[in-house]
Amino acid sequence: MHSTDHSNKAIITCAITGVLTDPGQHHVPVTPEQLAKEARRAYDAGAAVVHVHFRNQEPGKGHLPSWDPQVARDCVQAMREACPGLIINQTTGVVGPNYQGPLDCLRATRPEMAACNAGSLNYLKVRSNGTWAWPPMLFDNQPAKVKDFIDVMLETGTLPEFECFDVGIVRCVEMYVQTGMYTERLPEYNFVMGVESGMPADPDLLPILLKLKIKDALWQATVIGRSEIWPVHQRVAELGGHLRTGLEDTFYLPDGTKAESNGPLIEKLAEYARNAGREVASPQEARTLLGLSSAPR
């Protein structure tokens, strides 16, 4: 079993582009070439893992997601060629009963890791004037859907990263182990904090989450927001967790300036890891910690 006790190294993940971030407004990569350049910036700054969403490649459509397996293959290949040993962590998040697209993309690229959304969440946000920021929606991840993703990840040799948007979802992960839905090894947790209708970006919540996860299981935190996220990242580093940021999660550095690429965000996480007395894991060290095979050739 793999545990943070084996090493004091911090694995840094770059959430490179996000699902709907508009490339017309923000410097998010869309094409394979853009993803390769941004991945290299993040990699040079200390990221061993890139969490990637694929986007529509047609002109003017780059703000929309794509589940085209060929787009997925092209994007993954470009990033791997630009960054020797880079670990690919692929999105699978999709609303509704038709999730064949993410399953097809997993089979097409066989990534080392992939998000496995571990429970459902009312996905809500309210504007300052009291109106909904978007129509209220359910991000549905019922157990049968979770199991379908786990099964395909087993088939493709992909490590599930269990995305936990709320406290109860953290507790569900252990139930997936108890019922035999997931038996491969200790689960790897991702505590998603800062979604308005999910867990808040609050460092005081972290000790509670650590009590609820399975002992010795690896964990990281995804922290979404602006200035409030950075104290959480520092606490994650101090508590032995792994770190994630990128233009999917925030556009702002701790001093409030806007990041023009993923590189400065990753540099800041590396600095936070070192502030906590930890070194940043290389891609090969991250593979060892995560129990992954050596890099694809």
What tokens appear for 147 in the block? 């199991």
User: What's the whole-number mean pLDDT along residues 39-56?
Assistant: 98
Residue 297 has pLDDT above 70, yes or no: no
Q: What is the pLDDT of residue 4?
A: 41
Whole-prediction pTM: 0.95
Q: How confident is the model at residue 191 (pLDDT cuts 50, 70, 90)?
A: very high
What tokens appear for 229 in the block? 């996220």
Residue 3 has pLDDT above 50, yes or no: no
Q: What is the CA radius of gyration of the chain?
A: 18
127 vs 163: CA distance, rounded Å: 26
Q: What is the pLDDT of residue 119?
A: 98
Residue 88 β-bridge partners = 50
- Between the alpha carbon of residue 31 and those of residues 52, 78, 146, 232, the distances in Å are 12, 9, 29, 32
Instruction: Indicate the SS3 state at residue 159.
Output: strand
Residue 198 DSSP code: S
246 vs 28: CA distance, rounded Å: 10
Lowest mean pLDDT segment, chosen from 111-115, 125-129, 153-157, 292-296: 292-296
Give the percent of the chain with pLDDT over 90: 93
Residue 245's nearest CA partner among 50, 3, 33 is 50
Report whether 75 contacts 32 (CB < 8 A): yes
Residue 227 DSSP code: T
User: What's the whole-number mean pLDDT along residues 142-167?
Assistant: 98
- In the chain, the amino acid numbered 86 is L
Q: What is the pLDDT of residue 22?
A: 86
Instruction: Indicate the SS3 state at residue 217.
Output: coil
First-to-last C-alpha distance (Å) of the chain = 26
Residue 1 has pLDDT above 80, yes or no: no
Q: What is the pLDDT of residue 296?
A: 63
